[in-house]
Structure formats: C-alpha cells, structure tokens
A = this chain, B = another copy of it.
C-alpha cells in the first residue's frame, strides 16, 4: 500500500522530467528549414536523455517489484535517486545548446554517474531491509550492467576533454547495453510468478 504511493510519486517525477526536456527546445522563430538546424543537437541530446530516463523508469519499475516493505531509508534513497535524475534535463539542455562541448559533456556524465551511484545505494538499502536472501540480493550478485556502467561513465567523463564524441559514444553504448533485454531480470520475474 505504501509502495503504491512511492511508485506513483516516482512515476510522477519521472514523467515530468522526461516531458520537461521538451520545453528546452521552444518553437523557433521563422518557418524555414534553416531554423531547425540549430535544434538538431538539442533533439539528439533529448533522444539520449529520453532513453536514459526510460531505462531508469523501467529499472525502477523492476526494482520496486522486489520491494515488500517501504522504510524511511528506502523512501530517502529513492528521493536521492530522483534528485540526480532531476538534473538530467538541465545537463541535456546544456550539452544541446553548446553542441556537445567538453565541459557540458563531462557534467552530463557526472550526473549519470551520480544517478547510477544513487541507484546502487537504493538497491543496497532495499537489500538491507529485505535480507541478503531476497530475490534482489541474489540477482544483484551477477549484475554486470550495473557494474560496467559507472566504469564507462568515468572513462567518458575523462575523455570529454580529449574528444566529446568519444564521451557521447560511450553514453550511447551504456544506453544500448541497458536496452538489450536482460535475461537476469526475466529469470527473476519467472521466479516470482512461480512463487505466486
């Protein structure tokens, strides 16, 4: 019952974040094809962040599925995650407006890294509450995606000053890793359905 509201609030925040980014590229003045060209980098950065927020929503969805009891710790670990995600529209607008300049690209990675760490903390808090024998705890041991992502973010942040394109490429790679269907999660779901 508690969980429903935590999910509803998180869904609300994520729905707003994913939508608010559209406000960044306001209708351009003029109706020529030329006025659309400066918007292209903004659209590209929007697509990337849309996918990232989609991934977070999807993962959050799966993660909450394993929660049976909402404690104050889970509640604040969740808000902490939402805080970092709430900065995504800001950095998205910044990289778009500056055509993927080094500093914005690095900050984009830092926000993604902080969100990944916040997600990891949330996972730990949930495991701590539900016990190391819980479905989540068993699954997380083999969590390659969760372990490789921060490493790639750190490399991308470092590479931003060498070439923002490498950084951008790495952000796309991480997004693709997560988009590929996760056998691990599938198995958990099957386990859960069997239990029911």
Show the binding face of A for B, using Cβ within 8 Å. Answer: 2, 5, 7-9, 11-20, 22-33, 36, 47, 50, 54, 57-58, 61, 65, 72-73, 75-76, 79, 82-83, 86-87, 89-90, 93-94, 96-98, 101-104, 107, 179, 181-182, 185-186
User: Chain B residues near A2 (CB, 8 Å)?
Assistant: 61, 65
CA separation between A54 and B79, bound complex, in Å? 7
A96 near B27 with CB under 8 A, answer yes
Give the nearest-CB partner of A97 in chain B.
B27
Nearest 8 A-B pairs (CB), nearest first? A12-B15, A27-B93, A31-B101, A31-B98, A27-B94, A16-B19, A54-B79, A13-B15
A102 near B31 with CB under 8 A, answer yes
Could you tell me the distance in whole angstroms from the C-beta of A67 to the nearest C-beta in chain B? Answer: 13
Chain A interface, DSSP helix/strand/loop, else mixed? helix
A13 near B20 with CB under 8 A, answer no
Could you tell me the distance in whole angstroms from the C-beta of A192 to the nearest C-beta in chain B? Answer: 10
Q: Can you list 25 A-B contacts with CB-CB less than 8 angstroms, sorted by A residue number?
A: A5-B7, A5-B11, A8-B8, A9-B14, A9-B15, A9-B57, A12-B16, A15-B15, A18-B86, A19-B20, A22-B86, A24-B27, A25-B90, A26-B93, A27-B94, A27-B98, A31-B102, A31-B103, A32-B103, A36-B103, A58-B72, A58-B79, A72-B181, A72-B182, A76-B179
Could you tell me the distance in whole angstroms from the C-beta of A107 to the nearest C-beta in chain B? Answer: 8
Having A2-B65, A8-B8, one finds 8 other A-B pairs with CB under 8 Å, namely: A5-B61, A9-B57, A12-B12, A22-B87, A22-B89, A30-B98, A32-B103, A58-B76
